[in-house]
Chains A and B, each alone.
Chain A
Amino acid sequence: MGFFRKLHDWLDDRFGWNELLAPLRKKTVPVHRLSHWYFLGGITLFLFVIQVLTGILLLLYYRPGANEAFESVQYIMTRVKFGWLIRSIHSWSANLMVFTAFAHMFSVAFLKSYRKPRELTWLSGMILLFLVLGFGFSGYLLPWNTLAFFATKVGTEITGQVPIVGRPLMIFLRGGEEVTGATLTRFFGFHVAVLPGLATLLIGLHILLVQRFGISVPPKLEAEWLTKPAALREMKFFPNFALRELMAWYVALGVLGALAAIFPWDLGVKADPFVSAPAGIKPEWYFLFMFQTLKVIPSKVFFMDGEVLGVLAFGVAGAVWLLLPFIDTGRARRWVNALAVVALAYIIGMTIYGHFAK
């Protein structure tokens, strides 16, 4: 009997470990050729945990405020031992998390895992994705460098284009008419208090719902397995799937470490509100498709302002996407897959276009 076995038994005697894990032991994960996509949610969760841990560490040295933010990040990067590592991991992990969250969403959309009774899982997931983007947007400003400053300026400006509520919303986000130190204070508050609180609650709900309803099987396969129960193949969640997930986490950890060590995150130049914006200013890649769309739309479309039209279009598209489980019924069913393909192609295409556009 090995050491792990002994430790396990010791804990079991004190915790009722086996009993606690009993529901998890019963839980199974379907096995088919698309099962790999089931790992994405777990990886996103893992990256979120990394974000929380590195975020807390960064808080030990970071100081919000227009006069201090940049210098404190510079201090972390140059003076604090392994500060470069912690910050680079935080930045890289943020980007990977946005990516895996998007990938998770599209995998769910294509596997149609949002079908009844999992509508609420989809809704909570979508809100989580918006929160992740909010994390990205608010966190990007915190080092108070030139790029972040102007990206925030442009980003909040776009928010201001939303009819009626846009302007008050922009002023709320900026903490005034302009992007200033007040904006930084606000974004810091959102980034370290409001968003993490909301995200933790929603992640709890999201995981609870996943546990409650089990893991979805693509509709075609589900029908096949219903007619031929012998063809049904699945693996135990614990330990089989969980250990595989753990392997995925270790891979993610290795990728993060490599990225941070070989490409430490750039610090940039301290933001100066009085210099003009550098040419070709662009937001982070995950906002690029929206940014590029707004750039491509002509300034006047019929009687409407191009920017307003673009913002409205994204609002409508977002709402449709959010309500996908409710739309995906009856005759609309055929169109949903096509819609998802178009959305994915559009996002990828526009992101690439935005990346190479001047």
Chain B
Amino acid sequence: MATLQSKSAASHTSRWFLAMAAGFLLAGVAHGQTKNSCLECHSILTDNLGVTEEKFSQDIHAQKGLTCASCHGGDATSDDPEVAMGKKAGFKGKITRAQIPQLCGSCHSDPAVMRKYNPSLRTDQLSQYHTSIHGKRLATGDTKVAVCVDCHSVHDIRPPNDPRSTVYPLNVPATCSRCHSDAERMKAYKIPTNQFAEYKKSVHHQALTVRGDLSAPTCVTCHGNHGATPPGSSSVAAVCSTCHVFQAQLFDSSPHKSAFASAGLPGCVTCHSNHGIQHPTDAMIGTDDKSVCGQCHTEGDPGFVAANSIREHLAQLAAAIDRSDQILSKAERSGMEVSQARLDLVQTRDTLTKARVTIHSVNVARVQQDIQPGLVAADKNYEAGKDALKERNYRRYGLGLSLIAIALVITGLRMYLKQIESGQDSQTT
């Protein structure tokens, strides 16, 4: 292990040296061949015109050898502003918002160009953007909508796997919310601005930030990134089912599928909501106030009966698991080894999870099929707990007997000592 560590440490440092050497070399070449007069002024300028060398050096494009002129045109070798930013040098000046997608796309949509830098990068961003609500509105002349730089930032664009990037999974929700939580900005579009606030309460946000699960869905997972569009009621289920496969399959096979469709209800989110999606509880099913079934089903219809029945089954298994858990905890507290039973209980819990998935079929018989083995397993766990407690009592019983034997010996010895010592005393006196 030790040698492994030192080896990797060694290779790490040597890689560092290589990277640094390469950096110096590149910098030297860049300085030697192409001088950048842009930064001489723009690094001192403030506000929109200011770009420091430090900032631009963070940009993936700068690191790949692109310069200011690559986007803005002009001649960076000239010290004369008239020449450097002259028409002759092809200077484009500030790129207007309406022009930005086309400009970025001039490279990013060209596989031949992209292959030189990153052959695995997709080249469909621009065409996707044209299909997005942002792209469509931009086409109608609305320049307030998001263009490339609004999400990817500008002059310090980092690749999406860089944790400092604005489009790194952890940063995506905040990036989108910069506009979408701005009530003033969204007023014209008549769309709500509470999505980010809701999302922050959701189980997905929890998974993303607390557990650091980068695969947890952010805004773009459901809405798309370059092709961002509000999903219509038919596409919602398709989005959710990329991860929640079984739930989707069961739902599709259930009578809800056609019922929801004819009522114009958008699948999953009808019960689970969308941005503020919570960890579901058993209380969601049933017919009381907290449940969702009661929103459509009323007393007497078959769905009402089924909802209550499913709820009861889930509660029954949950209670059985709870009972087993309690007796095992009791055994543990008295020092018994029940790791095996604990392990089995985890598997029993899995059957409950499975049943909770099966409820999406809204079929009582199918749910029962999952509950039944769970109940049997929970009973077994309970028996294991009972056995452990029996074993504990057996130990205490054995201990009691041994202590009696020990007490007998001690009293016997005391009496014996008294006897011989009284004899000895009488001898000495």
Interface of A toward B, CB cutoff 8 Å:
74, 77-78, 84-85, 176-178, 180, 236, 239-240, 243-244, 246-247, 250-251, 253-254, 257-258, 261-264, 266-267, 273
Is B107 in the interface zone, CB < 8 Å from A? no
Is B403 in the interface zone, CB < 8 Å from A? yes
| B 391-413 binary contact with A (CB < 8 Å = 1; else 0) | 00001101100110011011001
| B 414-429 binary contact with A (CB < 8 Å = 1; else 0) | 1011001100100000
Closest-CB distance, A317 to chain B (whole angstroms): 33
Q: Looking at the complex, which one of A77, A247, A261 makes contact with B395 (CB distance below 8 Å)?
A: A261
Q: Which residues of B contact A262 (CB under 8 A)?
A: 334-335, 396, 399
Bound together, the chains give a CA A261 to CA B395 distance in angstroms of 6
Question: Which residue of B has the minimal Cβ distance to A252?
Answer: B406
List 8 additional A-B contacts (Cβ < 8 Å) besides A178-B1, A244-B417.
A178-B2, A239-B417, A240-B424, A243-B417, A257-B406, A262-B399, A263-B335, A264-B337
Bound together, the chains give a CA A262 to CA B35 distance in angstroms of 82
Closest-CB distance, B388 to chain A (whole angstroms): 11
Question: Which residue of A has the minimal Cβ distance to B334?
Answer: A262
Question: Which residue of B has the minimal Cβ distance to A239?
Answer: B420
Q: Which residues of B contact A258 (CB under 8 A)?
A: 399, 403
Q: Are B335 and A254 in touch, CB under 8 angstroms?
A: no
Q: Which residues of A contact B421 (CB under 8 A)?
A: 240
Q: Are B337 and A267 in touch, CB under 8 angstroms?
A: yes
Closest-CB distance, A251 to chain B (whole angstroms): 7
22 contacts between A and B (CB under 8 A): A74-B337, A74-B339, A77-B337, A84-B337, A85-B395, A240-B420, A240-B424, A243-B417, A244-B413, A244-B417, A247-B414, A251-B410, A253-B406, A254-B403, A258-B403, A261-B396, A261-B398, A262-B334, A262-B396, A264-B336, A266-B335, A273-B1
- The 10 A-B pairs with the shortest beta carbon distances in the complex, nearest first, are A261-B399, A177-B2, A264-B335, A254-B406, A261-B395, A247-B413, A78-B337, A250-B406, A77-B337, A247-B410
Count how many pairs of residues, one from A and one from B, have CB atoms less than 8 Å apart in the complex: 63
Q: Which residues of B contact A246 (CB under 8 A)?
A: 413
Closest-CB distance, A186 to chain B (whole angstroms): 16
Bound together, the chains give a CA A246 to CA B336 distance in angstroms of 32
Question: Which residue of B has the minimal Cβ distance to A236?
Answer: B424
Is B48 in the interface zone, CB < 8 Å from A? no
Closest-CB distance, B423 to chain A (whole angstroms): 11
Q: Which residues of A contact B407 (CB under 8 A)?
A: 254
Is B340 in the interface zone, CB < 8 Å from A? yes
Q: Are A243 and B406 in touch, CB under 8 angstroms?
A: no
Q: Please report whether the interface of chain B is mostly helix, strand, loop or mixed according to DSSP.
A: helix
Known contacts A243-B416, A243-B417, A261-B395; is A180 also within 8 Å of B340 by CB? no
Q: Which residues of B contact A254 (CB under 8 A)?
A: 402-403, 406-407
Q: Which residues of B contact A261 (CB under 8 A)?
A: 395-396, 398-399
Q: Which residues of A contact B396 (CB under 8 A)?
A: 261-262
Bound together, the chains give a CA A231 to CA B403 distance in angstroms of 39
| B 1-18 binary contact with A (CB < 8 Å = 1; else 0) | 110000000000000000
Question: Which residue of A has the minimal Cβ distance to B404?
Answer: A254
| B 329-346 binary contact with A (CB < 8 Å = 1; else 0) | 000001111011000000
Q: Which residues of A contact B409 (CB under 8 A)?
A: 247, 250
Closest-CB distance, B95 to chain A (whole angstroms): 49
Closest-CB distance, A50 to chain B (whole angstroms): 14
Q: Which residues of B contact A253 (CB under 8 A)?
A: 406
| B 140-166 binary contact with A (CB < 8 Å = 1; else 0) | 000000000000000000000000000
Question: Which residue of B has the minimal Cβ distance to A267?
Answer: B337
Bound together, the chains give a CA A247 to CA B417 distance in angstroms of 11
Q: Which residues of A contact B403 (CB under 8 A)?
A: 254, 257-258
Interface of B toward A, CB cutoff 8 Å:
1-2, 334-337, 339-340, 395-396, 398-399, 402-403, 406-407, 409-410, 413-414, 416-417, 420-421, 424
Q: Which residues of A contact B399 (CB under 8 A)?
A: 257-258, 261-262
Q: Looking at the complex, which one of A77, A180, A243, A244 makes contact with B1 (CB distance below 8 Å)?
A: A180
Known contacts A257-B402, A261-B396, A262-B399; is A243 also within 8 Å of B337 by CB? no
Closest-CB distance, A18 to chain B (whole angstroms): 16
Q: Which residues of A contact B340 (CB under 8 A)?
A: 78
Residue among B334, B403, B414, B416 with max Cβ neighbours from chain A (10 Å): B403
Closest-CB distance, A106 to chain B (whole angstroms): 26
Q: Which residues of B contact A250 (CB under 8 A)?
A: 406, 409-410, 413
Q: Which residues of A contact B398 (CB under 8 A)?
A: 261
Bound together, the chains give a CA A180 to CA B403 distance in angstroms of 42
Bound together, the chains give a CA A77 to CA B396 distance in angstroms of 17
Q: Which residues of A contact B334 (CB under 8 A)?
A: 262
Bound together, the chains give a CA A247 to CA B409 distance in angstroms of 8
Closest-CB distance, A242 to chain B (whole angstroms): 10
Residue among A262, A266, A267, A273 with max Cβ neighbours from chain B (10 Å): A262
Q: Which residues of B contact A84 (CB under 8 A)?
A: 337
Bound together, the chains give a CA A334 to CA B396 distance in angstroms of 51
Q: Which residues of A contact B406 (CB under 8 A)?
A: 250-251, 253-254, 257
Question: Which residue of A has the minimal Cβ distance to B409?
Answer: A250
Q: Which residues of A contact B413 (CB under 8 A)?
A: 243-244, 246-247, 250
Closest-CB distance, B194 to chain A (whole angstroms): 39
Bound together, the chains give a CA A252 to CA B407 distance in angstroms of 12
Bound together, the chains give a CA A84 to CA B391 distance in angstroms of 11
Q: Which residues of B contact A177 (CB under 8 A)?
A: 2
Q: Which residues of B contact A266 (CB under 8 A)?
A: 335
Q: Which residues of B contact A273 (CB under 8 A)?
A: 1
Bound together, the chains give a CA A211 to CA B222 distance in angstroms of 87
Bound together, the chains give a CA A87 to CA B334 distance in angstroms of 17
Residue among B336, B337, B416, B420 with max Cβ neighbours from chain A (10 Å): B337
Bound together, the chains give a CA A262 to CA B424 distance in angstroms of 42
Q: Which residues of B contact A239 (CB under 8 A)?
A: 417, 420
Q: Which residues of A contact B410 (CB under 8 A)?
A: 247, 250-251
Q: Which residues of B contact A264 (CB under 8 A)?
A: 335-337
Question: Which residue of B has the minimal Cβ distance to A269?
Answer: B339
Residue among B335, B413, B424 with max Cβ neighbours from chain A (10 Å): B335
Question: Which residue of A has the minimal Cβ distance to B413?
Answer: A247
Q: Which residues of A contact B417 (CB under 8 A)?
A: 239-240, 243-244
Bound together, the chains give a CA A257 to CA B400 distance in angstroms of 10
Closest-CB distance, A16 to chain B (whole angstroms): 22
Bound together, the chains give a CA A236 to CA B420 distance in angstroms of 11
Bound together, the chains give a CA A251 to CA B403 distance in angstroms of 9
Bound together, the chains give a CA A77 to CA B399 distance in angstroms of 17
Bound together, the chains give a CA A244 to CA B416 distance in angstroms of 10
Closest-CB distance, B418 to chain A (whole angstroms): 11
Q: Which residues of B contact A243 (CB under 8 A)?
A: 413, 416-417
Q: Are A176 and B2 in touch, CB under 8 angstroms?
A: yes
Closest-CB distance, B395 to chain A (whole angstroms): 5
Closest-CB distance, A112 to chain B (whole angstroms): 29
Closest-CB distance, A92 to chain B (whole angstroms): 12
Bound together, the chains give a CA A246 to CA B396 distance in angstroms of 24
Closest-CB distance, A335 to chain B (whole angstroms): 41
Bound together, the chains give a CA A282 to CA B420 distance in angstroms of 50
Bound together, the chains give a CA A78 to CA B342 distance in angstroms of 13
